[in-house]
């Protein structure tokens, strides 16, 4: 991680976790639910504070921080390590028309790494520290409009794998801290 993209303890960040080679993995509910379940687990057990999120076909946007006694970098490391293993396992165990191609991509990216069979997530999280309320609101709007721009839905609150419905007063798949 470069000096310009360091996560400082106590900060709130706009983050993007991207699948290796931008592979469209999150087209199947079973893979999406590994992410949503893991986000909830990290909230309950690891000190993740989630303010907004949206899972697209090949990346996850979040606005997040960590509890005072935790470090967001550690939470993200554990989240990515766990979800990587679980998603690769699910791809290998379930009928998947693109299984061989996806596994090949993840194996190829891991080829020159030590003790890694599959490289699911790209390095880094592209952290951008939230420095103002205006920037925070801009990033929340950006996150929630991702599925609209991708023409998946017409209205952000109709996209199930996002916090847009939470901000509309409805119950989402993952709880968030409303701002």
Q: Is 10 left (phi over 0), alpha (psi -120 to 50) or beta?
A: left
Total count of residues recorded for the chain: 179
As a whole-number percent, the residues of the chain with pLDDT over 70 amount to 97
Query: Could you tell me which CATH number the domain at 3-167 has?
Result: 3.30.70.1290
Domain extent listing, the chain: 3-167
Q: Which two tokens stand for residue 56?
A: 């697209």
pLDDT at 41 over 50: yes
pLDDT for 5 = 59
pLDDT for 1 = 39
Q: Quick count: other Cβ atoms within 10 Å of Cβ 92?
A: 12
Q: Which two tokens stand for residue 59?
A: 């990346």
Using pLDDT thresholds of 50, 70 and 90, give the confidence band for residue 65.
Answer: very high
pLDDT for 167 = 97
Per-residue pLDDT, averaged over 163-175, amounts to 97
Q: What is the pTM of this model?
A: 0.93
pLDDT for 16 = 97
56, 27 contact by CB (below 8 A): no
pLDDT at 2 over 50: no
H-type alpha helices, the chain: 29-41, 72-93, 99-110, 133-149, 164-167
- CA–CA separation, 54 and 52 (whole Å): 7
């Amino acid at each position: 991680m470069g000096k310009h993209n360091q996560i400082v303890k106590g900060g709130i960040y706009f983050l993007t976790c991207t699948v290796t080679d931008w592979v469209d993995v999150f087209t199947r509910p079973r893979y999406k639910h590994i992410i949503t379940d893991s986000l909830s687990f990290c909230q309950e057990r690891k000190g993740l504070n989630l303010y907004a999120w949206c899972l697209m076909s090949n990346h996850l946007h979040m606005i997040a921080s960590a509890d005072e006694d935790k470090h967001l970098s550690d939470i993200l490391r554990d989240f990515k390590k766990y979800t990587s293993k679980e998603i690769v396992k699910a791809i290998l165990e379930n009928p998947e028309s693109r299984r061989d191609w996806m596994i090949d991509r993840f194996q190829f990216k891991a080829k020159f790494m030590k003790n890694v069979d599959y490289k699911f997530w790209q390095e880094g999280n592209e952290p951008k520290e939230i420095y103002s309320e205006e920037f925070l609101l801009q990033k929340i709007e950006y996150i929630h409009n991702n599925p609209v721009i991708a023409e998946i839905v017409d209205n952000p609150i109709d996209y199930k794998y996002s916090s847009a419905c939470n901000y509309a007063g409805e119950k989402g798949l993952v709880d968030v801290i409303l701002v």
